[in-house]
Amino acid sequence: MRPLTEVETKTFFEKLAKYIGRNIAHLIDRGDDTYCFRLHKDRVYYLSEDLMKRATSIGREQLISLGICFGKFTKTGKFRLHVTCLDYIAQYAKHKIWIKPNGEMPFLYGNHIVKAHIGRVTEDTPEHQGVIVYSMADIPLGFGVTARSTTDTRKLEPTAIVVFHQADIGEYLRQEDTLF
């Protein structure tokens, strides 16, 4: 467990900014408590300083997880966001998309979102923008990247893909072994 290096911080924040933009600042300067990002076995965890200090007494081998895992660095140095950070990025998300009940299960099985399944969408979402996917009951289901801007979407046929799948909460079941 160690703080992120400068390079790592840059790649990580760039990725994160795709979803929450400047709201990253809210994650770092919280009113209630001091929180920090820590790297442990290639994974980035977000946790309070208190917890971090306590966790230092646990050996590297035995430490499995602490706080909330945001994602991991791949071998090539890129950063991949995991669905586990959904709680936080949903809280600070800039662009959102709501899908109809009949589109929930296809998305939770890892499919992209087609136009027919879209219930609502944030206005002025540009192309290739990270968006948080909600069900109509406002339950965050995952996140993805828009394939078209909101305005372009209007002209598309119903079966066209609108959002590329990035992560969904179905992964808790599907990828339990590889995710953690």
Partner 1 sequence: MAPGKKAGKANAAAQATNKRKAEQKPAAVNKKAKTTTTTAATNGKKGAASNKAKPAKKRSVQAAAQDDDEDDEDDESWAYGAVSDDDDDEDDAHVGDLDDEFVSAEEGSDIEVGQLDDDFLGDEFGDEEGGQGADLLGSDDEEEGEGEGEDEEDIWASSDDEDDMETKSRKLDAQAKREAEEAEAELTTNIQMEDDKYVLPTEAEALDSTDLQVVQTRIQEIVRVLNNFREMREGNRSRQDYIDQLLKDLCLYYGYNEYLMEKLFYIFTVSEAIEFFEANEVPRPVTIRTNTLKTRRRELAQALINRGVNLDPIGKWSKVGLQVFDSPVPVGATPEYLAGHYMLQAASSFLPVMALAPQENERVLDMASAPGGKSTYIAALMKNTGMVFANDANKERTKALVANIHRLGVKNAVVCNYDGREFPNVIGGFDRILLDAPCSGTGVISKDASVKTNKSEQDFQMLSHLQKQLILSAIDSVDAGSKTGGYIVYSTCSVTVDENEDVVNYALRKRPNVKLVSTGLDFGKEGFTRYREKVFHPSLSLTRRYYPHMHNMDGFYVAKFKKLSNKIPAKKADEKEDEADAEEFVPIGEDEKRNKKKQNKDDKAKVETQEAISFNDEEDEQLIRVSQAKLLQQTKGIKLRPKKNKGDGEK
Dihedral of alpha carbons 140, 70, 12, 52, sign: positive
Question: Whole-number minimum distance, CB 115 to partner 1, in Å?
Answer: 21
Question: Whole-number minimum distance, CB 146 to partner 1, in Å?
Answer: 22
Distance CA 69, CA 41 (A): 11
Name the residue type at position 71: G
Cβ contacts of residue 74 below 8 Å, gap of 6+?
A: 80
Q: Does 2 bind partner 1 (CB under 8 A)?
A: no
Question: Which residues in the 99-158 window bind partner 1 by CB under 8 A?
Answer: 104-105, 108, 135, 137, 139-141
Applying CB under 8 A, the span of 2-10, 22-30, 143-151, 168-176 interacting with partner 1 comes to 168-176
Question: Whole-number minimum distance, CB 153 to partner 1, in Å?
Answer: 24
Task: Name the strand (E) or helix (H) holding 16.
Answer: helix 6-20
How big is the CA angle at 87 (ends 83 and 92), to the nearest 5 degrees? 115
Question: Whole-number minimum distance, CB 130 to partner 1, in Å?
Answer: 19
Question: Which residues in the 18-77 window bind partner 1 by CB under 8 A?
Answer: 47-48, 50-51, 54-55, 57-59, 61-69
**Do 50 and 33 form a contact (C-beta atoms < 8 A)?**
yes
Task: Name the strand (E) or helix (H) holding 50.
Answer: helix 49-55
Residues lying near partner 1 in the complex (CB under 8 A) are found at 47-48, 50-51, 54-55, 57-59, 61-69, 84, 87, 104-105, 108, 135, 137, 139-141, 169-170, 172-173, 176-177, 179-180
